[in-house]
Amino acid sequence: MNITPNIIEILINFEIQNKKYKVMIIKIIEIIRIAGASFGIYWAYYIGMSTGTPAESVLHILTPWIIVSISGTSAIEGLFFGKQSAAEKGFKNDGGYAYQSRIALLSYAVISLIVYFANWGTYAEVTIMLTFLFFMFFSALNHGYQAVVNHNYRWENLNRPFLTALLFAAMWYPIINVLF
């Protein structure tokens, strides 16, 4: 009785199931990212606009909520499911530089929480938000480029430019009113 083929078969089935779970988790993270950011925008405007300083209040609520929803979940996705996430987005590999991006995304999320809980003020919130938006702008350009030039029509490449434009629209009021 040779059990080696059975063990190999079990391992192959386990790997197939493991990939399916990773794909499912990545899709759940994507839903959490978009839903979290969307709810954060709604909540910040709902609460913030009823205060005496609406632009500052909206920015104060939006800064950690948006950055943690987008950067935090992206960092977790990349750090724990990097190879599968890259494959789901249509990229051939999960290069070493991707780790730097994940750490940067994680640092945006952590710093936004520090700014919020330490109550460092409006200009600290504007600074971390503009830094994050700068990253998102170039990320949107990269995803759009991947879709148009490389014909990589995955969901993330198609939606990133449009979702980033909506994010900029949501952030326009508080940032412009705080700065000018």
The tens digit of pLDDT for each residue in 29-79 reads: 999 999 999 999 999 999 999 999 999 999 999 999 999 999 999 999 988
Is the pLDDT score of 155 beyond 90? no
Nearest-angstrom CA–CA distance, 77 and 83:
10
End-to-end, the C-alpha distance of the chain in Å comes to 79
pLDDT at 92: 73
Judged by phi (left if over 0) then psi (alpha if -120 to 50, else beta), residue 16 lies in alpha
163 to each of 4, 114, 152, 170, how far by Cα in Å?
A: 50, 26, 17, 10
Higher-confidence position of 123 and 84: 123
Residue found by looking up tokens 């789901």 in the block: 88
Query: Which residue type does 28 have?
Result: I
Q: Is the dihedral of CA 84, 88, 94, 99 positive or negative?
A: negative
Query: Which residue type does 117 have?
Result: F
pLDDT at 95: 65
Query: For the whole model, what pTM was predicted?
Result: 0.85
Q: Which tokens in the block code for residue 20?
A: 């399916």
| Mean confidence (pLDDT) of the chain | 89
3-state secondary structure of 18: helix
Average pLDDT over residues 135-147: 92
pLDDT at 152: 84
pLDDT at 7: 67
Nearest-angstrom CA–CA distance, 116 and 64:
7
Q: Which tokens in the block code for residue 29?
A: 């993270």
DSSP character string of 48-93: HTTSSSHHHHHHHHHHHHHHIIIIIHHHHHHHHHHHHHHHHTT-S-
Give the least confident one: 59-68, 87-96, 154-163.
87-96
Is the pLDDT score of 110 beyond 90? yes
